[in-house]
Amino acid sequence: MTGKATSGAFLGPLLIALPVIGGLFVFLLNEAPSHFALVNSAALLIGLLSVYFLRAPEHIRSVRYLVVGLLLVLCLPMIVGPSIDGVTRWLPLGPVQLHSGQLLIPPLAVLSVRLGNKGMWPVAGALLICGLQPDAASCLALTLVLLALALRNRDWKPVLLALLGLAVTAQAWWRGALPPVVFVENLLPFLWLDLDKPVQAIAIGLLLCAPFAILAFRQVAPGYRLVWIAAYGGFLIAALFGPYPVPLAGYGAAPIIGMLAGLAMMRPEKGLGHRPG
């Protein structure tokens, strides 16, 4: 489907755009590098175009091919991407480096719902890849996606994989922590403590909660909403408790494009109901 197919076509992207726009004001008000606002603005435009023009595959075989393609791209940072202290979690794209997990996990999570009970396996594969990079934020997001799949499919097997995911997340957290970058990581403490601007910190914190309202949408099946929020929640929790990119509000094109691409992969309520065994 395209975003035009549901009455939530405007509200969904708006809930994602709110923290992005809030982050742009933070950049402008606090003398961030000028290209930060430019990159995030371009990412928002690209993401919005994906919502309105991307179409999720209709046939389950095409879904499988797309999922495999996403997993292969997720592997690329370990082959061609830059490495910082043994950490390889970025896709080089000219002057911009995209965080591979935040770019690819949201659409992968949504598409995994289409695979029914088998959807946990590509998510588990992505978890292994992100554990090797190592990327604790992506591992946590995928762990929460597995729990969401267990709830959606009423299947206990993804719970076992999620327990393994917690262990993978812990080792990635221990091995992959890097010094925080201003306006990318630790955005709320930076505004509150370093710049002494608690009003801005509170405002950004509230705006970062806006995407969770997508859970209330009834135009698309609950499974899609649940895994999408699980992915976003994992990235947000990691950013609040560790040196990981703040999704949407912090500098970085990948989470903006990725979350909106995940929204584009959702299908109407009537389009769900196929659960391959």
Please state which of the ranges 8-17, 153-162, 210-219 shows the lowest mean pLDDT.
8-17
The pLDDT score that the predictor gives to residue 71 is 98
Please state at what angle helix 100-114 crosses helix 120-132, rounded to 10 degrees: 160
Residue 4: pLDDT band with limits 50, 70, 90: very low
Cβ-based neighbours of 148, under 8 Å, separated by 6 or more: 109, 223, 226, 227, 229, 230
DSSP annotation of 191 reads: I
Model confidence, pTM: 0.91
Contact present, 206 and 99 (Cβ < 8 Å): no
Question: What's the CA gap between 11 and 34, in Å, rounded?
Answer: 29
Interval 209-230 mean pLDDT: 91
Residue 54 has pLDDT above 70, yes or no: yes
Residue 95: pLDDT band with limits 50, 70, 90: confident
How much is the mean pLDDT over the chain? 91
Residue 32: pLDDT band with limits 50, 70, 90: very high
The pLDDT score that the predictor gives to residue 9 is 59
